[in-house]
Amino acid sequence: MAYFSYHTHSSFCDGKENPESYIQEGIKKGMKAIGFSSHAPLNSDIAWAMKASDVDAYVTEINRLKRQYKDEIEVYLSMEIDYIPGVTKSFSQWKKSADLDYTIGSVHLVKSGGHSDFWFLDGPDTNYSEGLETLFQGDIRKAVSAYYNQIIEMIKTQKPDVIGHIDKVKMNNKSQYFSEKEDWYIDLLNKSLDAVAESGTVVEVNTRGVYKKKSEKLFPDDYFLKECCNKKIPIMISSDAHHPNELLNCFDDTIKYLKQIGFEQVTVFHKGVWKKENI
């Protein structure tokens, strides 16, 4: 099958190179489409997100590259937008103001009651253990439930086109705090699956945890993927590349694995429309 990746970070946020170098590498790799998805701006002290003052330059640059490379590769403009209830700007506002082709909704920062700090799921695992302790009194079930409730609320209220790394909360767990086979955890996955199925949103199969060796399994994990297959929930593969070399990391193995599960197609974006592509 042809290669596509719709979740890419460049130097406009925490990615390593300018967008054009990803496009040139994508063309070399024979990719059909590449979508840029800088982290939408958050508070100014969050270094991994794009600066609000850079949004116009980002939009202008990606649109310029779209035109320049239109005969060689499809280029799309998106953002990976965080959802924090009562804090973040609505996805529809971002989509409209930047004229995004699609939105990727992700939760990296989990809210706990009235706290002004958030539980940060990414980065070094000390963030995870400290946040768990200070914001959730070490109660992993409470913390993980807050994460999935935030995901479900995002799906229902923000209606992202794509859900990014839906079980990211497992990344720094590494079986230290809970087992993904526990009933309460499966119950949260099932609730999330129901919300996804009802919304028609696309579930991203994100390979980054595997190739960065931060997670043994894909985001999402086996159980969730099998249920997506049973429920005919659309999926797409993305590398969440932060460097041009990472654009297609683990794609072939992931395609093989998805076929084993029973998937025959993935979703691709083409000229404003989501379509199915055989794998």
Contact footprint for Zn ion (CB under 5 A) = 80, 106, 240
Q: Kindly tell me which of 15 and 74 has the beta carbon lying closer to Zn ion.
A: 15
The residues, any chain, with a CB within 8 Å of residue 218's CB and separated by 6 or more, are: 205, 206, 207, 209, 210, 225, 254, 257
Query: Coil, strand, or helix at residue 255?
Result: helix
Residue 173 burial (CB < 10 Å; 0-12/13-18/19+)? buried
Which tokens belong to 105?
């909704």
CB 215 within 8 A of CB 171: yes
Q: Kindly tell me which of 187 and 203 has the beta carbon lying closer to Zn ion.
A: 203
User: 83-108: buried (b, 16+ CB within 10 Å) or exposed (e) per residue?
Assistant: bbeeebeebeebbeebebbbbbbbbb
Q: Kindly tell me which of 125 and 139 has the beta carbon lying closer to Zn ion.
A: 125
Q: Kindly tell me which of 78 and 106 has the beta carbon lying closer to Zn ion.
A: 106
Q: Kindly tell me which of 101 and 240 has the beta carbon lying closer to Zn ion.
A: 240
Cβ 70 to Zn ion, closest distance in Å?
25
Cβ 262 to Zn ion, closest distance in Å?
27
Cβ 124 to Zn ion, closest distance in Å?
16
Which tokens belong to 172?
């720094």
Cβ 241 to Zn ion, closest distance in Å?
9
Cβ 230 to Zn ion, closest distance in Å?
26
